[in-house]
Structure 1
Amino acid sequence: MIKQIFIVAVLFICSYSFAQEGSVSPYSFYGTGDQRFKGTAENRSMGGISVYTDSIHLNVMNPASLGKLRLTTFSVAGSYNSSSLKTVDASESASDVTFDYLVLGIPLGNNMGMSFGLIPYTSVGYKVQSIDETASPAKSSLYDGEGGLNKAHLAFGYNFLKNFSIGAKANFNFGKVTNTAVYQYEGIQYGSRIRNESEYSGFDFNFSLNYGAELTDALSLKSLIGYTPATKITSSNSRIVTTVPASVNGFYEVDLAKYGLNSTYLHLPESYTVGLGVGKKYTWFIGGEFEYINSSEFKNDFVNPVNGAYEDGERFSAGAFWTPDYDSFTSYWKRITYRIGVRNEKTGLLVNNVPVHDFGMSFGLGLPMNGFSNANVGVEFGKKGSTYLGRVEENYFNVFISLSLNDRWFRPNYIR
C-alpha cells in the first residue's frame, strides 16, 4: 500500500508543490526567504525538538534516529498558514495552504536505516511598499518577491554499541528566487523596475549523534548532538532593468558577467544542536533542545538586503508528549498521543539594526490508525518581529496535518 501511495504523492508534488508561493511573511524579503520546514508534524507539535526518537516515526532533522527504525515508514504533510501583519500605521492579513514534506524511511537490518524525500525548505512571498515623503521629490518603492529553496535529501543512520546511534544526511538544494523593486518619484512620469532572479543549486550536509540509556526500569534518557557545517551553493543570476510603464525598447538586461555577478555563491552558515530528555517508553517524554546558528556568516554575493543585516542566531525549544495507554483495547482516546511545545528563537536577522525574535507555542494529537500507522494534527501560534522603528509585527496561526504510514518491506518480522 505504501508503495502505491508514495508513487502517487511524488507525481502530485512534482507537478504542484514547488510552484507554490508558500509564504505571506514580509520577513521572507531577507536571505533565501522564510524558513518553512521546522521538523515533521510530530517534532513541530513539541516545539521543534528532534531529540526524541523511536522505531516507527521518521525524524528528518535527526538522521541518527534511522538506526532505530524498524518499519518502512512513509510520511507526508501539509499545512494552513494564517498571518496578521501590522505596523504602527496599518494592518493586513493573509493566508495560504502549502505542502510541507514527503519522506520515505526504510530499515536496513536491525541497526541501520535510510530515508529520502523532498522538503520545501524556505519560501519567498512578499509585497511591501515604502513611501518616503521627506525626499524631494517624494519617492515610492514597491518590493515584490516569490520562490524559495527546496531540499531533496538522502540520509543514513547506524546504531552501534547498544546505546549509540550516528547519522548523516546529504541535501541537494535547488530552487529559484525572484525579487522585483519598482521605484517611482512624484511628478515624474516614468519610474524604474529592477528584477533580480537567482537559481540555486548545491549540497549541504547534516550529522547527528544520539545516546540513549535506561536510567531505571521505567525511566529512559535520550540525548542528541547535531552539527551542520558551513557550505556554499551556486547562484546563477540575472538582472533586468525596465522603464515603468515599459515600452518596446524600455528595458535591458544587465551584463552581470562584466561585474562578476552572473554566477555567485550563497554562503550557508554552520549550526550546532544539543538536546536532552527523559521519559517512560511508549508513555511520556519531556525534553529540551538548544541550537546555535552562526548566521552572521550568511552572505549573498548578488543581492544585498535593504535595511537588513545578520548576527548569530539561537533557538531554544522544549516539548513533551503523553500517551495514557498505548495498547488499550477499550478506549481509543487512551491510545491518542497528546503533544505540547514551546519555542523561542533569535532568528539572526537584523532589521534597522534591531534583532528579529520569533516565539511560538504548539499543540498536537497523534491519532492511531491500523497497525502502527497514525495521523497527526497540530496547531502553532506565535509572534515574529515587532512594530518598533517602523518594522512589521507578524502574528501567525498554523494548522498542520500529516500521515505516517507503516509497512513491512524485505523483513519477515517487525519490532516496535
Structure 2
Amino acid sequence: MQVKKTFRSLFGAAVLSCLAAGAVAQTSSINAFSPYTMYGIGELSTPGTLSMRSMGGVGVAVRNPGVANMLNPAAFSAAPRKTFLFSFGIEGQNYYNSQSVDNTSKKSAYNTFNFHDIAFQIPIAKKVGLGFSLAPYSSVGYRTQYYREYRPNDPVWGNIGPMQYTYQGEGDLSEVKLGVGWEPFKNFSVGIAAQYYWGRIDRTYVAVPAAVVGDGNFNSIVGTGSYSISQFKGQVGLQWNAIFSPRRALTFGTTFDFGGDLRPRSEERIYTSDSSSTPVKGDTTNLKLVLPRQLAVGAYYQTSRWAVGLDYVYQNWGGRNKGIARTAVANGGSFDIAYTDTHTVKFGVEFTPSRYDARNFFKRWSYRAGLRYGNYNQTFGGHGLDQYAVTLGFGIPVRFFGTSAIDVGVEYGSRGFNVSRQTGLIRQRYFKFAVGFSLFAGSENGEYWFVRPKYD
C-alpha cells in the first residue's frame, strides 16, 4: 500500500510554499507603504490566518480542529488524531495617504502584493499537537520628501539656500513560530512556542542644497542605514472550555509573549556626492530595540451556525524603548517621536446558515465580519494615533461534508484620523484583499495519512 497521491501533492505544496515565503521574506519586498514606518521596525502585521483576520483578528480563544490557530499554542492540542491541517494565504494592499498643508491637499497612493502566512498543525500524541507558522511581523515602506525654505538669518544655512530632502526605505521583519499544545485535563489546554525573528530594513536619505545667488553648486549628502535582526523569543498560552457540548462551546484563552531585546546590527554610512562618493562617516553598532511583552485575553462562543469572538491585546512598547527621533512636519514645526504602550480590542462574528445542506451550496458558506480598534505604537510630539479596521469575508467549502475551504477577505482601515487636521500629520487609509487556503486531511474525507499499512 502506497502513500496516497493527495498526501504527496499537499505535502509538496506545503514545502514549496514555505520555501517561496522564506525567499520573499528575505528579499525585503514592500508589504506596507506608510510614512509612519520611517522609524523603528515599521508597521505591525495583523497576525492569524485569513479566517481569523476576516473576523477582526480574533483568535486567542479559537479552538477548532479545522482551523490552524497561529495566535495561541494551546490550540495545537485540538488537532484530531490521524489528521493534517495546512493553511496559507496571499494579500494585496492599497495605501492612500492624504495631508493638508497651507489649505492645500496632498495625496499619494501605492499598491503592494505578497504572501501573508503559512501554517500547519498536526497531532503528535494523544491530546498533544504540534504547530508551525511563518508570517510577516512588521514591514517598512515609504518614499517622502521635505523642502526646507531659505532662511537668511540662520547661522548655518543662511549662505546655502533651500534644501530638498528625500527619504525612502523598505524591508520587513518575519516571524517563525514552532510550538506544542497539550491537554493535560479535560477542557483545559496549555501551550508553549519558540519564536524566531529575522529580517533586514534599509533606509536612505538624500539632501540636495542650492546656492542662494549665482550658479554655485554644493555636493549633495547621501546617508544610508540598515537594520539586521536575528533573534529568538518565546510565548505561552492557555485555553479553557467553560462550556463544551455537541451543540455549543464557550472557550476562554490567554497568551503571554516574553518579548526582549532584538539587538539589531545597525550599519550607518554618510557620503558626499562628489566624483568618488567620498565617505564622511561610517560605523556599525548594536542598537537597543526591545520587542514588547504582550498580554492577550479572549473569549469565543460557537454553535453549529454562529461563532462570536472578542479579544483584548496589550503591548508595553513605551516601557521598554526610549525616544526614536525628532522629525519636521509640513506646517513648519517638529515633533519628538517616541514609543507608547498599545491597547487593541478585536471583535468578530461568523455565520454559517447550514453546514450540511445538500441542496443549497451557498448555505454551506461561512460569512464573516469584524472590527478592530486601538492605537499606534508611536507618538508624535505627544500626539497618539488612533487606528481602526473593518473586515469582511467568507469561506467556501471545497467539498460536501469536508473541512477544507477557500477563504476570501477584505479589510478597510485608517490611521491618524484623530489628529491629522490639528497637527498636519498624514491621515492614512488602506484597503486589503486576501485569499487563503485551508487544507484538512483526515477521517472526514477518507484520508488516513498516519495509519500503518497492513499490506504492502
Q: TM-score of the superposition, structure 2-length normalised?
A: 0.84
Answering whether residue 98 of structure 2 is matched by residue 86 of structure 1, we say: yes
Residue 64 of structure 1 is matched in structure 2 by 74
Residue 276 of structure 1 is matched in structure 2 by 299
Residue 121 of structure 1 is matched in structure 2 by 137
Deviation at 1:276, TM superposition (A): 1.6
Deviation at 1:134, TM superposition (A): 6.3
Residue 275 of structure 2 is matched in structure 1 by 247
CA distance in 2, matches of 1:381, 1:267: 29
Answering whether residue 442 of structure 2 is matched by residue 374 of structure 1, we say: no
- Where does 1:196-345 land on structure 2 (aligned, <5 Å)? 196-214=225-243, 218-243=247-272, 245-256=273-284, 262-280=285-303, 282-299=304-321, 304=325, 306=327, 307=335, 308-345=337-374
Residue 178 of structure 2 is matched in structure 1 by 154
Contact 2:255 2:297 (8 Å CA) reproduced: yes
CA distance in 1, matches of 2:386, 2:308: 24
CA distance in 1, matches of 2:406, 2:392: 14
Contact 1:128 1:144 (8 Å CA) reproduced: yes
> Which string of whole-angstrom CA distances, capped at 9 and with x for unpartnered residues, describes residues 198-234 of structure 1?
1101011122111113277743211111111231123
Answering whether residue 230 of structure 2 is matched by residue 174 of structure 1, we say: no
Contact 1:118 1:153 (8 Å CA) reproduced: yes
Answering whether residue 197 of structure 2 is matched by residue 164 of structure 1, we say: no
Which stretch of the first structure deviates more once superposed, 173-182 or 34-43?
34-43
Deviation at 1:331, TM superposition (A): 1.6
Contact 2:258 2:292 (8 Å CA) reproduced: yes
> Which string of whole-angstrom CA distances, capped at 9 and with x for unpartnered residues, describes residues 46-99 of structure 1?
000112220111010111111111231111111110011100030111111111
SS of aligned partner of 2:287: strand
The residue type paired with residue 403 of structure 1 is F
Contact 2:26 2:200 (8 Å CA) reproduced: no
CA distance in 1, matches of 2:25, 2:283: 32
Answering whether residue 88 of structure 2 is matched by residue 101 of structure 1, we say: no
Residue 399 of structure 1 is matched in structure 2 by 433
Which runs of no fewer than 5 residues in structure 1 stay unpaired? 257-261
Answering whether residue 45 of structure 2 is matched by residue 9 of structure 1, we say: no
CA distance in 2, matches of 1:124, 1:211: 37
> Which string of whole-angstrom CA distances, capped at 9 and with x for unpartnered residues, describes residues 355-395 of structure 1?
11111100110110133211110000011113231211111
Deviation at 1:326, TM superposition (A): 1.1
Contact 1:155 1:168 (8 Å CA) reproduced: yes
Deviation at 1:268, TM superposition (A): 0.9
SS of aligned partner of 1:10: helix
CA distance in 2, matches of 1:300, 1:21: 26
CA distance in 2, matches of 1:353, 1:38: 28
Deviation at 1:249, TM superposition (A): 4.6
1:305/1:365 CA distance change after superposition, 3 Å:
farther
CA distance in 1, matches of 2:30, 2:52: 24
SS of aligned partner of 1:55: coil
CA distance in 1, matches of 2:40, 2:312: 22
1:11/1:293 CA distance change after superposition, 3 Å:
closer
SS of aligned partner of 2:167: strand
Answering whether residue 437 of structure 2 is matched by residue 390 of structure 1, we say: no
> Which string of whole-angstrom CA distances, capped at 9 and with x for unpartnered residues, describes residues 247-273 of structure 1?
2152245134xxxxx223321111111
Q: Indicate which of 55, 69, 74 corresponds to 2:65.
A: 55
Paired residue total: 405
Contact 2:271 2:277 (8 Å CA) reproduced: no
1:380/1:185 CA distance change after superposition, 3 Å:
same
Which stretch of the first structure deviates more once superposed, 354-363 or 17-26?
17-26
Contact 1:268 1:297 (8 Å CA) reproduced: no
CA distance in 2, matches of 1:117, 1:286: 24
Q: TM-score of the superposition, structure 1-length normalised?
A: 0.92
Identity %: 23
Residue 75 of structure 1 is matched in structure 2 by 87
SS of aligned partner of 1:90: strand
CA distance in 1, matches of 2:202, 2:410: 30
Q: Indicate which of 10, 24, 34 corresponds to 2:33.
A: 24
Contact 1:30 1:305 (8 Å CA) reproduced: no
> Which string of whole-angstrom CA distances, capped at 9 and with x for unpartnered residues, describes residues 172-206 of structure 1?
11111111122233325222121111110101112
SS of aligned partner of 1:265: coil
Contact 2:242 2:252 (8 Å CA) reproduced: no
Contact 2:388 2:413 (8 Å CA) reproduced: yes
The residue type paired with residue 60 of structure 1 is M
1:28/1:231 CA distance change after superposition, 3 Å:
same
The residue type paired with residue 195 of structure 2 is N
Answering whether residue 209 of structure 2 is matched by residue 185 of structure 1, we say: yes
CA distance in 1, matches of 2:301, 2:135: 29
Deviation at 1:167, TM superposition (A): 1.2
1:364/1:305 CA distance change after superposition, 3 Å:
farther
1:110/1:324 CA distance change after superposition, 3 Å:
farther
The residue type paired with residue 153 of structure 1 is K
Contact 1:18 1:120 (8 Å CA) reproduced: no
CA distance in 2, matches of 1:14, 1:294: 29
Which stretch of the first structure deviates more once superposed, 311-320 or 222-231?
222-231
Q: Which has the larger radius of gyration?
A: 2
1:147/1:82 CA distance change after superposition, 3 Å:
same
The residue type paired with residue 374 of structure 1 is A
1:249/1:368 CA distance change after superposition, 3 Å:
closer
The residue type paired with residue 268 of structure 1 is L
Residue 42 of structure 2 is matched in structure 1 by 33
